[in-house]
Amino acid sequence: MPQMITTTLTVNGVQRTVTAHPDTPLLWVLRENFRMTGTKFGCGAGQCGACTVHVDGRSAFSCLLEIQHMAGKSVTTIEGLSPDSKHPLQRAWIAEQVPQCGYCQSGQIMRAAALLKDKRNPSRAEIVEHMKTNICRCGSYPRIVAAIQRAAKEV
Partner 1 sequence: MKRMRDEGRGMRAPRAAGVRVTSHESRITANGGRRRFMLGAAGLTFGVAAGIPDFLRATGGAAAAQGTKSVAMNPWVTLYADGTVAIMSPACEMGQGSLTSLPRIVADEMDADWAKVKIVPAYPSGKLYGNPLFGGEQYTAGSATVTGYFNNLRQFGAQVRQVLLDSVADHWRVPTGELATIPGYVVHEKAGRRIGYGEIVGFAKIPANAPEVSVPPVATAQFRLVGQDTQRIDVPSKVNGTAQYSIDVQVPGMIYGAILREPMEGAAPERIDDSTARAIEGVIRIVPLQYGVGVLAETPWAAFKAKNALKVSWSRNAAGWGFSSAKGYEQFSAIAKDASQKGFPWDSKGDMAAAMAKAATIVEGEYRADYAYHAQMEPLNSVAAVSPAGDAAEVWAGTQSQTITVAAVAAALGIPEAKVKFNGMLLGGGFGRRGNRDVEFIVDSVLMSKAAGRPVKVIWTREDDVHNGRFRPLYVNRIRAGLDASGRIVAWQHRVVADEVLAFMDPVRHKLTKGVDGIAIRGTELPTYAIPDRMSEGLLQKTGMRTNPLRAIGVGQNSFANEVFVDELAARQGVDPVEFRRRLLDKTPLAQRARHVIDEAAKMADWDRKRPGRGLGIAYLDYSGTQVAGIAEVSVDRVSGAIKVHQFWCAIDCGVPVHPDNVIAQTESSIVYGLGLALSERITIEDGQVKQGNFYDYHVPRMSDVPEIHIKLIPTRNHPTGAGQMATPVVPSAISNAVYALTGVRLRQQPMLPDRVKVALAEAGSRAA
The binding site for partner 1 (CB under 8 A) comprises: 1, 4, 20-21, 23-25, 28, 31-32, 35-45, 47-48, 50, 77-79, 81, 85, 89-90, 93-106, 109, 127-129, 131-146, 150
* 66 SS3 class: strand
Q: Report the residue number, 9 or 98, with the smaller CB distance to partner 1.
A: 98
Q: Report the residue number, 1 or 14, with the smaller CB distance to partner 1.
A: 1
CB atoms within 10 A of CB 50: 25
Q: Report the residue number, 9 or 42, with the smaller CB distance to partner 1.
A: 42
Q: Give the amino acid at 80.
A: G
| CB of 130 closer than 8 Å to CB of 110 | no
Q: Report the residue number, 9 or 144, with the smaller CB distance to partner 1.
A: 144
Minimum Å gap between C-beta 90 and partner 1 is: 4
Could you give the angle at the alpha carbon of 100 between the alpha carbons of 97 and 103, nearest 5°?
A: 120
Round to whole Å and give the CA distance between 107 and 26: 14
| Number of helices and strands in the chain (H, E) | 5, 5
CB atoms within 10 A of CB 122: 20
Q: Report the residue number, 135 or 155, with the smaller CB distance to partner 1.
A: 135
Minimum Å gap between C-beta 120 and partner 1 is: 20
Minimum Å gap between C-beta 101 and partner 1 is: 3
Minimum Å gap between C-beta 114 and partner 1 is: 15
Minimum Å gap between C-beta 10 and partner 1 is: 18
Round to whole Å and give the CA distance between 138 and 105: 11
